[in-house]
Amino acid sequence: MRKKLIAGPYMLWAIAFILIPLAMVFYYGLTDKNGSFTLSNIASISSPEALKSLVLALGLSLLSTVICLILAYPLAMILNNLKVNQNSFIVLIFILPMWMNFLLRTMAWQTLLEKTGVINQLLGLLHLPPLNIINTPTAIVLGMVYNFLPFMVLPIYNVLVKIDPNVVHAARDLGANGFTTFVKIIFPLSLPGVISGITMVFVPSLTTFVISDLLGGGKILLIGNVIEQEFKQVNNWHVGSGLSIVLMIFIIISMFITNKYDRDGEGAVL
Amino acid sequence: MKKTAQRIYLALIFVFLYAPIVTLMVLSFNGSKFRTKWDGFSTKWYVQLFRNEQIMSALYNTLAIGLLSALFATVLGTAACIGIHAMKKKSRMVWMGITNIPMLNAEIVTGISLMLLFIAFGVNFGFMTILLGHITFNIPYVILSVMPKLRQTDKATYEAAMDLGASPVKAFFKVVFPDILPGVLSGFLLSFTMSLDDFVITHFVKGAGVDTLSTKIYAEVRKGIKPEMYALSTIMFVSVLLLLLIINRPSRKKPQKSAV
Amino acid sequence: MKKVLTAILIMALIPGILAGCGSKSEGSNGKVVVYNWGEYMDPDVLTLFEEETGIKVVYDEFETNEIMYPKVDAGAVAYDLVCPSDYMIQKMLENDLLAELNFDNMPNTKNIGSMFMEKSKEFDPENKYSVPYMWGTVGILYNKTMVSEPVDSWDILWDEKYKDNILMQNSVRDAFMVALSRLGYSINSTDEAELQEAKQTLIDQKPLVQAYVIDQVRDKMIGGEAALGVIYSGEALVCQQQNPDLDYVVPKEGSNIWIDSWVIPKNAENKENAEKFLDFLCRPDIAAKNFEYITYYSPVEGVKEYVEDEYLLNSPLAFPDPEQYTNCTTFHYLGEEADEYYNEIWREVQAAGTSE
């Protein structure tokens, strides 16, 4: 079949720009400065600082994922119930902010959250105690939720839209109350969306260095920051690559968990 | 009662998503150069913006890289879809797996891996390396938008067209292409948006003097963002908003399902 | 029809691609690739130079010496002119990254005050590789309305009263300089016990620190976000101009006095253009322009005559006598091993105490 050949350019591209670069990360990660094999780069994750940054990143990204899920699920349901010209409305709400640069949007939170920032001045007017979360892990979680919430809402919404209303009606006719219908019918059916939402929030949160950089005031080190510094400041590519391999292992683990629920096997990511 | 609760909830999320954006818009009218000081209303940054060569060239790079990378990714990705679709299940799984790598992997790792590649092959860092990087991470978005459409197409019509004497290329463009076009278009738009918003990968593969808006902003974050930047993003945001409103207003037809 | 449209779109873009690659690279007399600190030169100076010489300036910026070094070292971008600080120049020299300058091409370099050339010998022993660009000190910028007592010592950065009101520098040598000076040790210490002690003081200080930042100190101090911030002398002037409540002091325990100098990396592709640009920067009128824009002290003699800004001319902070900073020292490059050790303990400071 000649048709297969048409994928040729992409296949070459993928080998050159996806597979070979990854192989290079592994090469650097598994060798020392003299080019001989070592596991010490990967083992450097066990240093107290690296380990702490990894644990902190895992903790914060899990927390943001949970918060995103709690916020997104009802949101997706409400949007699904609105039924008015949904698609353009949703694009408007969630895709539009992406046209304002992500760094600027995150920076804007600094202006909002600062000690003399907008939110605290508003609170001051209302004689409420100030909110002191800038440069704390809380601010980073907020930044993560803010940036990645759409990635949770959209897959869930996409699945909810596809649920046949007749199934829900049938359940109601058979005497299930709203809660039972939700637990027994809607939620199980929406699970693929939930799962892909979870990966799409968890992975970027786990690996970010920008959000912690902008909202953490340089006081909080996540694994992404450690890797970025190894490449951009400390200039030790071997350790940086070794830590990247560790990071990928965690991504693969989360993929693996996801894949168990992904029936299609292909392209349920979006 | 329930309706009101729902509306309040929607409104709260809306405020959450848009508060920073409104903040930036307000800052673009700040007379002072410093983010933390309000010097009265002024539109001077909107004038100075167009005289700021650095921002203008960053804007040019961002748009050029966005358009070019989306275009290349769309062509390569659509072709790849057709090829992969024709493959046997096993090799299809392998190539879809590879396609998923840049999407699922951490951006920082993708950026680092490309940086290592370019350094190893002595490629000069600049416009080209950024473009190559962006095409790489855009292709999967195209494939994932086109693939579902391709799966829905009816093989029989394509074969019928061939039986009626159309060449495979003609049959493809007459029969298959119109069906997958919505997927191709949304892949293109998605790629363009992703390219515009990318910072991490560009951060690792950019060269001297070549900045996109993202890297420019990241550099400015440390030394105080120039208010021209707020003005520019306000303009971009408002124009996209207007564009979307215009597109969505007149036709009451159901808009195409976007891939996201 | 669609195909035609796409084709038109592609055709329309091709000049764009060419321009994208082309316009970046050449002026009528070639180009010079400059790598400088963020916000460290008046953009008008670039335009003036381009107009005068027809050489296109490709301009790139870095935030800290530590970020600059790997980029030059990797050689992925061939910079023609770079502006590191003293100790980093020493490191680059030791690692053989720098090209010797041809001073015959740069008559204006004689304008550089002799005392700065003398001082440069600490890192460039024969004055062969570098030309000073700016100099200054590191000190404390404080808000007089938020700090009542006199500020004269680093100790105030450890005062519980100012919890969450202190800004520290987010770069390894500057942060350790503060701690080492406070403890009375050399800012070039490589003694493990001293460094461990310094590390501990920084970790102790961390709960009081609002943020570790670089140039953001400026924005935050102007806006009254913090009471005290560690900052380079050059920034102090701008801040004071914007917010008169601010004042700058070099603590009595001593501090860092630094010189940022221009160097040409070995892999530079346009060395002659780089020298032309460097020569241009040493002209007093140009140096004055840069001074007015960034307000860092220039080592070029005769700058003051060209400065027009009344505020700067009258400010006591603007033209200090370098001789007065007898208790300040220059950073030295401490060798690879010490570098790694500094990075390691700085990482420990950065990672400390965030597990709440």
B64 and C78: CB-CB below 8 Å?
no
Rounded Cα distance between B170 and C309, Å, is 71
pLDDT < 50 positions in chain B: 251-260
CB C269 within 8 A of CB C288: no
CB C293 within 8 A of CB C52: no
Rounded Cα distance between B119 and B102, Å, is 20
Tens of pLDDT along B191-217? Answer: 998 898 899 999 999 887 788 999 988
At B250 the pLDDT is 53
At A58 the pLDDT is 94
User: What residue segments make up the domains of chain A, in order of their start?
Assistant: 47-261
Token pair 């040598």: residue: C173
Between CA A155 and CA A159, with CA A158 as vertex, the angle to 5 degrees is 90
At B186 the pLDDT is 86
pLDDT at A135 over 70: yes
* Arithmetic mean of pLDDT, C299-320: 87
**Residue C225 counted as domain residue:** yes
Interface size A-B, in CB pairs within 8 Å, comes to: 233
* Residue of A233, A238, A243 to mutate for C, most C C-beta atoms under 10 A: A233
For chain B, the chains sharing at least 3 beta-carbon pairs closer than 8 angstroms are: A, C
At C28 the pLDDT is 66
* Arithmetic mean of pLDDT, A16-40: 93
At C315 the pLDDT is 84
Query: For chain C, how far is it from start to end, CA to CA, in angstroms?
Result: 62
AA letter at C103:
F
Q: What is the pTM of this model?
A: 0.83
Both structure tokens of B31: 């007379």
pLDDT at A86 over 60: no
C94 in the same domain as C71: yes
At C23 the pLDDT is 41
Structure-model confidence comparison of residues C93 and B243, the more confident one? C93
**Residue B258 counted as domain residue:** no
Q: Which domain holds residue B11?
A: 1-42
Rounded Cα distance between C340 and C327, Å, is 27
* CA distance, residue B222 to nearest chain C CA (Å): 5
Rounded Cα distance between C171 and B53, Å, is 30
B4 in the same domain as B85: no
C129 in the same domain as C100: yes
B23 in the same domain as B73: no
B121 in the same domain as B182: yes
At A265 the pLDDT is 43
**Residue C223 counted as domain residue:** yes
CATH number, residue B163: 1.10.3720.10
C317 in the same domain as C253: no
Between CA C299 and CA C303, with CA C302 as vertex, the angle to 5 degrees is 65
| Furthest CA-CA distance within chain C | 78
B215 in the same domain as B174: yes
Both structure tokens of A245: 């391999």
* Arithmetic mean of pLDDT, A196-208: 90
Rounded Cα distance between B170 and B162, Å, is 9
A233 and C210: CB-CB below 8 Å?
no
B165 in the same domain as B73: yes
At A16 the pLDDT is 94
Q: CA dihedral in degrees (B85, B91, B95, B97; nearest 10)?
A: 110
**Overall number of domains in chain C:** 2
Tens of pLDDT along C203-218? Answer: 999 999 999 988 788 8
* CA distance, residue C227 to nearest chain A CA (Å): 12
Contacts of A122 (CB under 8 A, 6+ apart): none
Question: Taking CB atoms and an 8 Å cutoff, what residues of chain C touch A219?
Answer: 206, 209, 211-212, 350, 354
Q: Which domain holds residue C201?
A: 136-257+327-351
Tens of pLDDT along C8-21? Answer: 444 444 444 444 44
User: Taking the CA of residue C227 as centre, how many other CA atoms within 13 Å lie in the half-sphere pointing to its CB?
Assistant: 20
At C16 the pLDDT is 42
C239 in the same domain as C288: no
A10 and B104: CB-CB below 8 Å?
no
Q: How do strand C31-37 and strand C56-62 relate by DSSP bridges?
A: parallel
Token pair 């950089």: residue: A213
At A94 the pLDDT is 75
Range of lowest pLDDT (A24-33, A137-146, A256-265, C250-259) = A256-265
**Residue B233 counted as domain residue:** yes
* Arithmetic mean of pLDDT, C281-289: 94
pLDDT at C3 over 50: no
Residues of C at the B interface, defined by Cβ within 8 angstroms: 2-3, 9-10, 13, 16-17, 20-21, 24, 33, 35, 38-39, 43, 58-61, 63, 74, 76-79, 213-216, 218-220, 222-225, 242-243
B131 in the same domain as B176: yes
* CA distance, residue C260 to nearest chain A CA (Å): 19
Q: Which residue of A has its CA nearest to B216?
A: A103
| Cα dihedral sign, B81-B87-B88-B93 | negative
At A165 the pLDDT is 83
In this prediction, residue A263 has a pLDDT band, given cuts at 50, 70 and 90, of low
B101 in the same domain as B8: no
> Top-level CATH class of A47-261?
mainly alpha
At C2 the pLDDT is 41
AA letter at A257:
I
C274 in the same domain as C241: no
C332 in the same domain as C308: no
C20 and B61: CB-CB below 8 Å?
yes
Cα-to-chain-centroid distance, residue C313: 23
DSSP-derived secondary structure letter, C297? B
Judged by DSSP in three states, C59 sits in strand
Tens of pLDDT along A49-70? Answer: 899 999 999 999 999 999 999 9
C207 in the same domain as C101: no
Question: Taking CB atoms and an 8 Å cutoff, what residues of chain A touch C209?
Answer: 217, 219
Question: Taking CB atoms and an 8 Å cutoff, what residues of chain C touch A49?
Answer: 347-348, 350-351
Judged by DSSP in three states, C140 sits in strand
**Residue B167 counted as domain residue:** yes
C217 in the same domain as C334: yes
At B124 the pLDDT is 83
Both structure tokens of C106: 């740069």
**Residue B21 counted as domain residue:** yes
pLDDT at C162 over 70: yes
Rounded Cα distance between B203 and B218, Å, is 9
In this prediction, residue C112 has a pLDDT band, given cuts at 50, 70 and 90, of very high
Contacts of B181 (CB under 8 A, 6+ apart): C2
What HEC string does A23-45 produce? HHHHHHHCECCCCCECCHHHHHH
Q: Give buried/exposed letters for A152-189 (b at 16+ CB in 10 A, else e).
A: bbbbbbbbbbeeeeeebeebeeeebeeeebbeebbeeb
Rounded Cα distance between B32 and C274, Å, is 35
Question: Taking CB atoms and an 8 Å cutoff, what residues of chain B touch C213?
Answer: 222
pLDDT at A46 over 80: yes
**Overall number of domains in chain B:** 2
C218 and B223: CB-CB below 8 Å?
yes
Looking at every residue in chain C, the average pLDDT score rounds to 87
**Alpha-helical regions (H) of chain A:** 8-14, 20-29, 40-43, 48-82, 86-90, 102-113, 118-125, 137-162, 165-173, 178-181, 187-207, 210-215, 223-229, 237-261
**Alpha-helical regions (H) of B105-225:** 107-120, 127-152, 155-163, 168-171, 177-197, 200-205, 213-223
Q: How do strand C81-82 and strand C31-37 relate by DSSP bridges?
A: parallel
**Residue B253 counted as domain residue:** no
B118 and C76: CB-CB below 8 Å?
yes
From the list A79, A87, A116, the residue facing B255 with the nearest CB is A87
CA distances from A176 to A179, A180, A182, B2, B101 (A): 8, 6, 9, 20, 43
**Residue C97 counted as domain residue:** yes
B233 and A101: CB-CB below 8 Å?
yes
Question: Taking CB atoms and an 8 Å cutoff, what residues of chain A touch C210?
Answer: 115, 135, 217
User: Taking the CA of residue C309 as centre, how many other CA atoms within 13 Å lie in the half-sphere pointing to its CB?
Assistant: 16
C156 in the same domain as C236: yes
A232 and C67: CB-CB below 8 Å?
yes
C350 and A221: CB-CB below 8 Å?
yes
pLDDT at C248 over 90: yes
Question: Taking CB atoms and an 8 Å cutoff, what residues of chain A touch C337?
Answer: none
Rounded Cα distance between C255 and C230, Å, is 11
User: Taking the CA of residue A178 as centre, how many other CA atoms within 13 Å lie in the half-sphere pointing to its CB?
Assistant: 0
C40 in the same domain as C53: yes
From the list A52, A132, A136, the residue facing C351 with the nearest CB is A52
A217 and C348: CB-CB below 8 Å?
no
Q: Which residue of A has its CA nearest to C205?
A: A219
Rounded Cα distance between C96 and C98, Å, is 6
| Cα dihedral sign, C304-C305-C311-C316 | positive
B222 in the same domain as B179: yes
Question: Taking CB atoms and an 8 Å cutoff, what residues of chain B touch A121?
Answer: none
Radius of gyration of chain B from its Cα atoms, rounded to whole angstroms: 22
C219 and B35: CB-CB below 8 Å?
yes
At B207 the pLDDT is 80
C291 in the same domain as C150: no
At A248 the pLDDT is 92
C267 in the same domain as C127: yes
CATH number, residue C248: 3.40.190.10
